[in-house]
Amino acid sequence: MHWIDWGLTVGSVLMVYACALYTKRYNKSVADFMAGGRAAGRYLICNAKGEASSGVANTISKFQLLVVSGFVMSWWDSFGLPALMIASLFGFVIYRYRQTRAMTVGQFFEMRYSRNFRKLTGVLGFIAGILNYGIFPAVASNFFVHFLGLPMHTPIGPWQVPTTSIVMVIYLSSCLWMMLMGGTITLIVTNCIDGILSHLVYVLMIFAIFYVVGWSGIRHMMLSQPRGYSMVDPFDQSHIKDFNFFYPIIYWSMYIYQTMSVQKDNSYSAAARNPHEALMGGVLGNWRMLARNVMLVVVALGALTYLKGPNFPGAAALGAIHDSQTYDQMKIPISLSYMLPVGIKGLFLTIMILGMTDGDSAHILTWGGIFIQDVVLPIRGKPLTPKQHVRVLRWSVTGVAVFALFFSSFFTQTQYISMWWAVTEAIFVSGAGAAIIGGLYWSKGTTPAAWSAIVVGSTLAVTGILAPIVLLHYGRHFPFNGMQMKFIAAAAAVLVYVVVSLLTCRDAHDMDKLLRRGRYAIADDKIAGSESRRRQPVLARLMGINQNFTLADKLVTGGLFFWCMLSMAIVLVGTVWNLAFRHWSQETWVTYWFAMGVVVPLIIAVVTMVWFGVGGVIDLRKLFKRLATMSRDSTDDGTVNQHTTPAPARLAAVSAPSNQNNDPGGTSETDKTNAGVT
């Protein structure tokens, strides 16, 4: 690391920590700590949520996939993107979840099903979450040790302490300090700032990689792969086991299915000013994802090209790694540590540090909050004062950080990062996904059905964790990987939920009360100008556009819609042509990927860098203004009183019932007309 690199890294990190310290003054209630005061705009959510998924462990897991499959996953992804796009445009789950004003999924479960179900899912979600998060510190600390070339052990007195343990203590302490400052307010503010910075670095990284190895070097490396292991031809991957044609199909199906049940992102949805802002934050996030994806592909393939080149200077460092999983995880970071030019290397380290802090902070805040909100308080029964409530939340967050430190220190990882995440997530999301989707969209979904789905899903998921270990002991191989077991568990849970609901439903659930519609509507959630009853054109309704959409919203939504449809059309035609008529040559595939996998996404990345950067700064100013002037509701603390409705002053006092059948975006015509009446 040159002094310029260290200067860029240290300066950026100190700036973000100063912002974290500044946010402390705005943390005045449980809703502030857990839901950001419900005051965040779309660009703030978009940048913050995207950055929370850019941590070290997440980046390393993407590198593992890309060095095996190259550009090929992007081809099959194009079949899943329209489904993801349609789900996000309609605010699938996110819109209605925000309407319930629940702080956690557990609170929603109590509102929709029962308190005992909340207790069960709280325990299950907490266990699944901390197991899923438990490997993050190990992966992150390994990255910093190998990227910076630090010694494997550091002498402290008479002891030789693993350097990874020291790194873990330092960075977990930083994450913990930030979350103790202001909870979700600190999280969304620092994540947004980091997201704006990282977007710029993504673009610079792409140009740096092309400067060092060039597209010709990457092209030669990809074309040199043996038959059956192609990085450019999606029809020549017969020997790739885990990351093949079926992986993106299962991945995107589960990505949509587990919306909101992967609970680390729920704070961002709860922090939205209103349901529409939550919806648009998700839509914009899909544009931002394109910039990150093209950076990851170019960086991974550029680093692999450099690594496979003659006289690779990091050969000795790689040769010193004897564990196969660590070797797979660290070969790209070690290559980058030698190839990146001065300045770019420091910027890359900066976004990795900030991404690690953001991602880990989101996890420890989420799982610490869930333990108190969905396990301790429902069991305790007796309410806490706001000060006591925030205090125990802070203690719980500290406990999660301590657990992660010890788990990462002693757990030995034996599979790809993404596969471990898939199977541990499945403990909760396989059954919870059915309960969430069914609970929000189907009035006939019942509590026994939710119990059945969660039991079946979690049992199959745990089987997916234990069976490979047991069979390996007897020298046999388990036939399904983590992603496949997750899909099987989810499919079984959905089937059980539907069947049991049909068998046990006696009375339909009051969806107006759950979703704060009709006479339960809340004035704070009203969208200005949403009173219009004018029917939208067919194409607009197909894209999920309703009366809440401004002209800018429609342009953003339409652009994303047509981009995804164009991508799918190209891939569909290309697939038919290659299978039925003539197989493209390797040269044709390389040319295609340079245009559609690099150039076009890079142009989009540059445009969105300016667009989201300006929008994020504006939203940050609005956030601080709202937090400084808004009144706090002490009853908005994540608890559920079955016999009361929200604070009367914030209810829209209407008596007309809503018409759920005219509710494409989650709010009926009657609700939108009457939502502002007090």
In which band, very low, low, confident or very high, does the pLDDT at 532 lie, cut at 50, 70 and 90?
A: very low
Residue 69 or residue 119, greater confidence? 119
Maximum mean pLDDT: which of 95-109, 219-233, 319-333, 613-627: 613-627
In whole numbers, what is the pLDDT of the chain averaged over residues? 82
Residue 638 or residue 49, greater confidence? 49
Choice among 273-287, 395-409, 649-663 with the minimum mean pLDDT:
649-663
**pLDDT of 669 higher than 60:** no
How far apart are alpha carbons 115 and 113 in whole angstroms? 7
Residue 472 or residue 14, greater confidence? 14
Over residues 207-213, the mean pLDDT reads 90
Per-position DSSP letters for 333-378, written without gaps between them: HHHHHHHSPTTHHHHHHHHHHHHHHHHHHHHHHHHHHHIIIIIIHH
Q: Which of 675, 652, 673 is nearest to 534 (CA)?
A: 673
Choice among 36-40, 61-65, 433-437, 449-453 with the minimum mean pLDDT:
61-65
**pLDDT of 291 higher than 80:** no
**pLDDT of 459 higher than 70:** yes
Choice among 223-232, 350-359, 471-480, 625-634 with the minimum mean pLDDT:
471-480
Residue 226 or residue 529, greater confidence? 226
Distance of CA 199 to the CA centre of its chain: 16
How far apart are alpha carbons 400 and 134 in whole angstroms? 9
From the CA atom positions of the chain, what is the Rg in Å?
25
pLDDT of residue 504: 94
pLDDT of residue 678: 25
* Conformation bin of residue 582: beta by default, left when phi > 0, alpha when psi is -120 to 50: beta
Q: Which of 433, 417, 430 is nearest to 481 (CA)?
A: 417
pLDDT-above-70 percentage for the chain: 88
pLDDT of residue 344: 93
Which pTM does this prediction carry? 0.76
CA dihedral 48, 50, 55, 59 (to 10 degrees): -160
Mention every residue, 6+ apart, whose C-beta is less than 8 A from residue 95: 275, 276, 278, 279, 665, 666
* Each residue's pLDDT tens digit, 170-191: 989 998 998 888 888 998 999 8
Helices 324-339, 56-69: axis angle to 10 degrees equals 90
pLDDT of residue 596: 87
In which band, very low, low, confident or very high, does the pLDDT at 502 lie, cut at 50, 70 and 90?
A: very high
* Each residue's pLDDT tens digit, 117-132: 998 888 888 988 888 8
pLDDT of residue 661: 34
Burial call 323-338: b when 16+ CB within 10 Å, e when fewer: eebeebbbbbbbbbbb
Domains of the chain listed by start with CATH number: 3-17+31-674 (1.20.1730.10)
Per-position DSSP letters for 167-222, written without gaps between them: HHHHHHHHHHHHHHHHTHHHHHHHHHHHHHHHHHHHHHHHHHHHHHTHHHHHHHHH
Residue 61 or residue 546, greater confidence? 61
* CB-based contact 413:135 (threshold 8 Å): yes
Q: Percent helix, strand and coil across the chain, each rounded to 5?
A: 75, 0, 25
**pLDDT of 36 higher than 90:** no
* Each residue's pLDDT tens digit, 302-320: 999 999 888 888 888 888 8
In which band, very low, low, confident or very high, does the pLDDT at 676 lie, cut at 50, 70 and 90?
A: very low
